[in-house]
Amino acid sequence: MLRLYDTRTRQVEPIVPAGAGALRVYACGPTVYRFAHVGNLRSYLLPDLMRRVLERHRIRTVVCQNITDVGHLVDDDQIDPAGEDKVLQQARREGRSAMDIARFYEDAFRRDTAALNMRPPEYTPRASESIDLMIDLIAKLIDLGHAYQVDDGSVFFAAESFPSYGEISGNRLDALRPGHRVAGVDPRKRFHADWALWKGSDRELTWDAPWGRGFPGWHTECSAMSLRFLGERIDVHTGGKDLRFPHHEDERAQSDAAAGHEVVRHWVHGEHLLFDGRKMAKSTGNVVLLPDVAEAGLDPLAVRLALLEHRYRQQMNLTWDTLRAADRTLRRWRRRVAEWAESPSRPMSAPHAERAMAAFDDDLDTPAALRVLRELERDEQVAPGSRFETFLHLDQVLGLDLAAEVGRAPAAVPLPAGAAELLEARAKAREARDWPAADRLRDELAALGVAVADTPQGQTWS
C-alpha cells in the first residue's frame, strides 16, 4: 500500500481510506491573481501522484482543491481591515474588474495543470462562491466558545481554546512571542496568537454577515470548503511546506474545534523548488512559467519528468539544463516505446514493474522508479514487446504520455548542413568502387549525426 510522510506525526504512515468508501484528499489550491510558476505547480503534482498510485491499488480517490479568489491579503500576517486583497491589487494594476482577474488566472492555472497531465479534482470550490459556508462555520465557532466578535465587526479565533495547536509545525502557543509575525499586538485580540476569521471592512469584495460587513480570513476558507465537500473525516491534506504555519495550524484548529474531533488523518507537505539555486521571485528575475518552457521548444511534460526526478519532500534545484535533459529523455522514451510497439506483444516484465511500484508506494520515491525504467530501457534481455507493456503500465502513474508517438509516422528530419553534399559524394565513390573514400565519407557523415547503411538498392541514411 501507499505510505507517506505525515508532517504531524513525524513518520511515514500507510494511506488507506478511513471507511469503506473513497479516500478523501484536500489540496490547498491557488490564489488566482497571477500566473502559477513551475515552483507553484510542483505542489499540485503531489495529489495527482497520490491519486494515480492509489488507483493502481484500486482505491478510488476524491480530491477537493479550492480556488482562493478573495480574502487573501497582500500581507496575510497583517490583521488590517484596510489591507488590500491580492486579487484587488492586481485588478487595479491591469485596469480590470476583480472577478475578471480571478477568472483569467484561474483559467490559466487550469491550462497549466492540464498541460502537465494533472487530473482535475472532483471539487474546485471558489472562495467567492462559498461565503455562506464560511459565515456558518464562524457562527458555529462563536457558539462553541472558540471565537469572539470585536467592535468593528471582525471575529477572532480564540487560540487558547485549542490546546493542541502547533502539532503540525511545532509552533506551540506557549512558545509564540507577542508580535511573532508583525510588530506589536493587535489591541482587539484577547490573546496575541488569535487570528481573524472575519475582517470587518467596507472596501470592495465584502459581504454582509451577522457581526458586520467584511470579508473572510484566508484560513477560514479552507476549513469551510473542506468540511462542506469532503465531510468531517478527511484522509489526507496536502500543500506546500510553507503552508504548515500559520495556515495549516489555523485551519486544523478551526476544523477540529467545529467538528469536535481530529478531522484530517494525515498532513502531507511538499518541499520548495529553487530555480538556478534561488527561490523564484520577480526581484531575482528567475520566475519560470509553463508557457516559457513551451516557447523554449521543450515539451511541457519535460517539467513533470524533471520534477519526478526528485522526491516530493526533497528540495530541488531546477535549471534550464535539467529541463533540456528531461526533454531529451522524454522524447527518447517516446521513440523507443513507438519502436517496441512494432514488435510482437509480450507480458510486461514483472520484476521491473514490481520494483517500480514498490518505489511509488515507498513515500512516492519517483527517482527510484525512474531508475528502474532506465535500467529496463537498456536491458536487451527483455523482449521489446515486454518493455513496451511495462513502460505503458508504469506511465499510468508517471503521466508522461509515453505512447504519444505509437502509430505515428516518423517526422521528416532535415539533414545537417553539408550532409547532402557528402551523401552525394559517397554515392559517386561507391559507383566508382572507391571504397576508402566511401568509408572516409561515412565517418564524416557520422560526425554530423547521420548514420549511413548500404543496401542492395543503394545507400540509405537516418
Which residues are annotated as part of the binding site for Zn(2+)? 28, 222, 247, 251
Nearest to 353 by CA among 317, 402, 389: 389
Tell me the C-alpha distance between 218 and 201, whole Å: 15
Determine the 3-state secondary structure of 237 from DSSP: strand
Phi, psi of 399 (to 5 degrees): 70, 40
Tell me the C-alpha distance between 71 and 215, whole Å: 6
DSSP 245: I
Beta carbons within 10 angstroms of residue 344's beta carbon: 9
Q: Which residues are annotated as a binding site for ATP?
A: 282
Residue 46, H or E segment:
helix 38-56
Q: Which residues are annotated as a binding site?
A: 28, 222, 247, 251, 282
To which residue does cell 491557488 refer?
30
Are the C-beta atoms of residues 91 and 105 closer than 8 Å to each other?
A: no
Beta bridge pairs of residue 452: 461
Strands 264-270 and 234-240: parallel
Tell me the C-alpha distance between 408 and 460, whole Å: 21
Beta bridge pairs of residue 269: 239
Are the C-beta atoms of residues 56 and 41 closer than 8 Å to each other?
A: no
Angle, helices 366-378 vs 301-308, to 10°: value is 110
To which residue does cell 509575525 refer?
181
Nearest to 63 by CA among 123, 151, 148: 123
Nearest to 266 by CA among 59, 25, 22, 20: 25
Are the C-beta atoms of residues 276 and 269 closer than 8 Å to each other?
A: no
Beta carbons within 10 angstroms of residue 409's beta carbon: 6
Nearest to 357 by CA among 373, 346, 341, 381: 373
Determine the 3-state secondary structure of 108 from DSSP: helix
Tell me the C-alpha distance between 180 and 185, whole Å: 9
Tell me the C-alpha distance between 198 and 219, whole Å: 10
